[in-house]
Amino acid sequence: MANVTVIGAQWGDEGKGKIVDWLAERADVVVRFQGGHNAGHTLVVGDNVYKLSLLPSGIVRGTLSVIGNGVVLDPWHFKEEVAKLAGQGVIITPENLQIAETCPLILPFHRDLDGLREDASGAGKIGTTRRGIGPAYEDKVGRRAIRVCDLAHLDDLGPQVDRLTAHHDALRAGFGEPPVDREALMAELRAIADFILPYARPVWLTLNEAKKRGDRILFEGAQGVLLDVDHGTYPFVTSSNTIAGTAAGGSGLGPSAVGFVLGIVKAYTTRVGSGPFPSELEDEIGQRLGERGHEFGTVTGRKRRCGWFDAVLVRQSVAVSGVTGIALTKLDVLDGFDELKICTGYRIGDRHYDYLPAHSQDQAKAEAVYETIEGWQDTTAGARSWAELPAQAIKYIRRIEELIGCPVTLVSTSPQRDDTILVRDPFAD
């Protein structure tokens, strides 16, 4: 049985939470391998709605869940999220949740710096969640980070804190802010350490043992390929690599463990925050998509920008992330449209492109070239087989497959986990 890696193949918010939950019931382990609590995964299980930011979606099902070394961890948010889920009846213990002992920590001054930078950017705002994700990753690659394992050695942390605060004090001074309060920082770390440390494990060892047993491992990506720091619409991207290959480095398993790569794709396109969006609709159709799709960010609550399906961008995501099959979500949002459009290329000045150029100025000038396809009036909501879909909806799906060069593996027709059409079983490959 194959492992499965789930990634977003657009700008995030594609409905990964439901798909991961649907798959997690059949997995033995679920792993988060990048990002932080800037993720927003909503799970609808019966009458219960669970909103996760940091914890792997498998935790709701009681599946062994792992936060890998590629994640940046806010320990205080972690405690809050555990308490929130406990209030919904989800019991979380070190028996069903492990945190990589090498995870870098998001500290209070990371959140401060994130907000200060964004406020000072004016029209150049990136659109971050202001949760300290980017600054924490900067300290990781700058070899200044405090990691989960350091919480067990706080009395020896002095030189490391010196180096870390020297860097941040200089940055804070540039914004007219006082230096980091070292005593307060150490007090906060001591207060949270006893809560975090029981979950700390060498998760690379846990996962390699699971692999040897033949356990089914589900890797859960956050954000989307178009927000990848290398392959996304830079600089309007997140601070981590969101492609499937990151599952290997961000978990401690080799590339051979990635398995079937399932790219999650909405039947239309959305984006939160700033950045290029060639197929965006700033009219009543875009508003209709947003209202019907309930397009508000799980983490930020920000209204999402909406537009037609962009086959060019999804084709790029399929290529750079090695996607094996697509899970198409929110098909029901398109019910009732007389006609639908699919972006098949871009026009920038006199040139036609079948990919999105790398430079932000070119991206901003890109005009979508559309193909029009007939819509359908019957409902797809709740469909669980091809026979329940209108013929024109099937034609729409087939055309998407042709344009992106990748088969559709799953079709989601509502937020409910069982309203899913299984075309190909990712775990069976």
Active-site positions read 13, 41
Residue 366 has phi, psi (to 5 degrees) of: -65, 130
The partner residues of 66 in beta bridges, in order of sequence, read 31, 98
Under a CB-based contact definition with an 8 Å cutoff, are residues 99 and 196 in contact? yes
Apex 86 CA angle, 80 and 90, nearest 5: 125
Provide the Cα torsion 226, 232, 233, 238; round to 10°. 90
DSSP code string of 220-241: E--S-GGG-TTTSSTTSS-SS-
**CA–CA separation, 177 and 144 (whole Å):** 20
Alpha helices in 353-404 (DSSP H): 360-365, 391-404
375-397 exposure pattern, b = at least 16 Cβ within 10 A, e = fewer = bbeeebeebbeeeebbeebeebb
**CA–CA separation, 261 and 412 (whole Å):** 17
